[in-house]
């Protein structure tokens, strides 16, 4: 079966660092994706990990441990505009993306 878990909601303060965790159990694995989605809009791509380790891209970093079925998205120097939902997605067979339920992040001043 397919199971992707991430926290439902998180809050953080402007300028701080926040880590959003994602655990997965899927029948296939072709990498792990993180997307950002603002309310009423389409998701936008943030990162892709297929090998273990940390990928850094500006204020955002993503980590993957395939043996543990675990990933996290790290957001540094939080800004108000980072308030959004963050979707963890696993690349499955046939190029599918299976999404987790998403984590709604609220950044406060």
Partner 1 sequence: GAVVSQHPSWVICKSGTSVKIECRSLDFQATTMFWYRQFPKQSLMLMATSNEGSKATYEQGVEKDKFLINHASLTLSTLTVTSAHPEDSSFYICSAKAAGGADTEAFFGQGTRLTVV
From candidates 40, 57, 79, 81, binder to partner 1 by CB under 8 A: 40
Distance from C-alpha of 40 to C-alpha of 22, rounded to nearest angstrom: 23
With H, G, I as helix, E, B as strand and everything else as coil, classify residue 71: strand
Distance from C-alpha of 108 to C-alpha of 94, rounded to nearest angstrom: 40
From candidates 17, 50, 54, 80, binder to partner 1 by CB under 8 A: 50
Q: Does 104 bind partner 1 (CB under 8 A)?
A: yes
Residues in binding contact with partner 1, number by CB under 8 A: 23
Token reading at 8 = 């439902």
Residues that bind partner 1 (CB under 8 A): 30-31, 33, 40-45, 48, 50, 87, 91, 94-102, 104
């Amino acid at each position: 079966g397919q199971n992707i878990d991430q926290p439902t909601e998180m809050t953080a303060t402007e300028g701080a660092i926040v880590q959003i965790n994602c655990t997965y159990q899927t029948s296939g694995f072709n990498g792990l994706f993180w997307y950002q989605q603002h309310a009423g809009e389409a998701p936008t791509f943030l990162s892709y990990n297929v090998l273990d380790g940390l990928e850094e891209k500006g204020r955002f970093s993503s980590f993957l441990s395939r043996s543990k079925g675990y990933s996290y998205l790290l957001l540094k120097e939080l800004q108000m505009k980072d308030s959004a939902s963050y979707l963890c997605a696993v690349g499955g067979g046939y190029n599918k993306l299976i999404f987790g339920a998403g984590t709604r992040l609220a950044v406060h001043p």
